[in-house]
Each structure stands twice: as structure tokens, then as C-alpha cells.
Structure 1
Amino acid sequence: MDESLKHLILGGFSSQKIKLMLNGQKCVFTIVNVDIQPEPIFSNREKFICLSPITVTTIKIDENGKRKQHFLNYMIPEERNHFIDNLKKNLINKYETINNTKYQNSNYPFNFNFDINYITKRMGNITKLMEFKNKIKIKAIEAPFSIEADPELIKIGYECGWGEKNSAGFGCVEQI
């Protein structure tokens, strides 16, 4: 990070206050210190834990012939490959948008798996149904996962979020 930008960010956030409503009560937090974490270096195989759930969708046609958003569920075997394919397409779209170029590095395999030991401990219960603004219900999955892919796509997932609705806080992860 450029030094002048670093100082601008650190100076802009230090000695500030954040006001939040928690359980109906106004809470004020004073920022004492701001640290910038070193940028991680990614290989083609990484493991992450979810700090917020991952959501991936597709479009289905309902019984009335209308297009409807469908939240893919990794835990349903018939949907698992579609979940992984759409996750990969989403990362490629983000890569192409950020880099303003066509993604060309398709010689890497793409393997994505949620942690089976974690799933077993949770008795398969890793899905969440969350109510979003305007009472929209979003199905998402939260569990540690491993990924084998182009390190550039892994970096995009880490920096931008995995899956969809990242601007709403979905898909935030931490490297294990």
C-alpha cells in the first residue's frame, strides 16, 4: 500500500467514534488504534473459515413460467456441482470486472469442498435462512472450506467475498 494512502486511512480512522444500536440500545465505541494487516500470499490450495455465510443462486422457472431466484444448497447432492460451478463463474466475473480483461488462466483445476468433519459435527446443519431487508429470505451456508484453484481467483474471493451479495456482508472469510 502506498505510504501516503496508508497514513490517510490510519489518520482518518484513529480517534473516531462508531455508533451502533445493539438490542435497542445506542452504543458508542471509540477507535483507539487502527492496524493494517499484511496482504496474504495465496497458493493454489487454501483453507478458509467463514466469518459470514456464503450464498450462491441460480434462476429457475416456477410453475407459472416466471423466472425465480433459487438459492443453491451445497448440502443437496443434486445441487452441489451447480453450486461449485456458479461459485467459480462468480469469481471469474469479479476477476474480469476488477482487471478489465478476460480471464485466461483456465489450466488450474477448480475444486471446492466444505469441511466434511465440520459438517459431521454439526450433523449436516450448516445452512442458514436469514431475513434480509424488506423481509427477503436468503439461504446461505457457513462452514470452513478448502479450495484448489488459480491463486488469482482465490485472492479475488478473499478480497471481494465468496459467492453473491458480498456488498451486504455475505462471503467474508479468514484464511486458516
Structure 2
Amino acid sequence: MLLELQPQLKGREIPINYQYELSATIYKILAKADTGYAKWLHDNGFMSENKRFKLFSFSRLIVPRYGIDKERQRLIIHSDFIRWHITFLPERSTQQFVQGVFNDQRIEISDHVSGVSFAIREVQVMPLLKYAPVMEFETMSPVCVSRRNEWGKADYLSPEDSDYASGLLIGLLARYRALYGHDYKGDTSINFQLLGKVKPILVKIKAGTSGQTFVKGYQYKFRLALAEELMRIAYEGGLGEKCSLGFGMIKLN
């Protein structure tokens, strides 16, 4: 789904690390349409082996003209319109439901320093994936894959790490189990190949609060060979970890 957002009169500055605020915005919009569904999604999501999956992902904001205030950690919006992509996996989130929920809404992206109010001027439902056994994609938000170290902390893996592809597969199989309630029984082979340069992205979550944490992801173009059911989950629900916090959205290259 593609949203076209128009900044309103209240300021033109948002935090550079806005992923957490965007995630909260999705819940707020869903809550306006169906409080029970939004609360369940927030509190529970889809369960698999005691892990919770929200099964949606979203892109970084596409801002044609902007400035950066590094000292104040602000993104200054100069464009009259910006774009934002969101994808949903739950069956409840059909095209009609999602499009109806987001049409003619207003959202606010802000923290304790500054924020911007936006009007959603247009909602476009994007075409479904036309599957092929080997496909090429690029990331629209950083992809995060981690591995626990000996101290129980997360080591964020580079796409060039030998364990990276298996980490992607583990996440997709867990999402499949959460969505359908049973293990995937088909072909679980995966072939992941980078196409070009890799860009690391370090993101602050809950920036400036006592709960502030850092998550590292990577942006890149890649070729992927994967079974159709798992390829669709990657395309519609995100790739890697922490997708509902603004990681792992991909598009066709």
C-alpha cells in the first residue's frame, strides 16, 4: 500500500529516528477502525513458539526534498508531499479493509522535541507479487538479522555473513507458523545473493527516552531463490527481524 502524505501547518521537523513513531501511528489508525483488533495486534500479534509477530512492515519515508540538523537530530521536510509504503500479512487486512482504514486520515509523527501533522491525501493498493523461482529485490527499509552471542546479547549480522541467509529463512518459517498455525512443509532451500553495495543503518528506537535502544540493519539490492509461499511472506510481511518497527520491507528491483 502506498500512502501520499501532505505536511500540515504544524512545523516541518520530525526526529531522524522516526521508525518507532511510525509504528505507533499504524496502531492508532487501526484502533480508530477497530479498537479490539488493534489492541489484540499490539498486545499479542501472531504467536509462534512464544514469539510475537505483528506481520506488517513499512518503508522509510520517501522525502524528495529535505535537510538534516545533525546536532538536534531532526529531519527537516521541504517537500509538499512525501510517500510511505506499508504492507500487511494478516487475512483481516484485506485490500478493502486497509484502504478504507487509511483513507482521509491525519497522522502525526513527533517526539518530545518536534513533530509534523500529515493529511493522507491518497491511498494506492499495490499490485500483488507475480512469483518466479528467482527474483530480484531491493530494501525499502533496513533488514535486520541477529544472532545471540555468548553473553545473550544480539550481534547484528552483515548480509555478507555466512549465517545471514539461514537467519532470513528462520524468520520466514517462524512467520509462516504464526500466520497459519502449523509448520511449513515445503521446500526450505534458500539462495541469497547480494547485488552491489551494502549500506549499514543504525537506528535508535524510542530515541531520547529511558527505553532507548539501538538496532542495526542493512540496505541493499539482492537476488533471492525461495519457495513461493515463503517468498510471498517476505514480500508482504517483511524480511528479517523487527519488521513492525520499520525494518525489512522490500520491493521488486
Do both proteins adopt the same fold according to a TM-score greater than 0.5, normalized to the shorter chain?
yes
**Which 5+ residue runs of structure 2 have no aligned equivalent?**
1-90
Partner of 1:159: 236
CA drift of 1:7 comes to: 4.9
Name which of 89, 105, 110 aligns with 1:21: 110
Summarize the alignment of residues 10-89 of structure 1 with structure 2, pairs less than 5 Å apart: 10-21=99-110, 25-61=114-150, 66-75=151-160, 80-89=161-170
Q: For the pair shown, which has the larger CA radius of gyration, 1 or 2?
A: 1
Q: Report Cα offsets for 1:43-100 as digits up to 9, x if no partner.
A: 1111111110011011110xxxx3222111223xxxx221111111111111121111
- 2:139 is matched by which residue type in structure 1? C
- 1:57 is matched by which residue type in structure 2? S
Partners of 1:160 and 1:111 in 2: CA distance: 19
Whether contact under 8 Å (2:129, 2:235) holds in the other structure is no
Report how many residues are paired: 157
Partners of 1:105 and 1:155 in 2: CA distance: 14
Partner of 1:110: 190
- 2:159 is matched by which residue type in structure 1? Y
RMSD (CA atoms): 2.4
CA drift of 1:159 comes to: 1.3
Query: Greater helix percent: which structure?
Result: 1
Partner of 2:39: none
CA drift of 1:172 comes to: 0.7
Partners of 1:8 and 1:89 in 2: CA distance: 30
SS in 1 for 2:142: coil
Partners of 1:73 and 1:6 in 2: CA distance: 34
TM-score (norm 1): 0.77
Q: Report Cα offsets for 1:106-137 as digits up to 9, x if no partner.
A: 2x64101221xx21xxxxx5222222233322
SS in 2 for 1:70: strand
TM-score (norm 2): 0.55
Query: Greater strand percent: which structure?
Result: 2
Q: 1:132 to 1:8 in 2, by over 3 A?
A: closer
Name which of 216, 222, 231 aligns with 1:145: 222
1:126 to 2:203 alignment: no
1:95 to 2:176 alignment: yes
Partners of 2:144 and 2:190 in 1: CA distance: 18
**Which 5+ residue runs of structure 1 have no aligned equivalent?**
120-124
- Bigger drift between 161-170 and 128-137 goes to 128-137
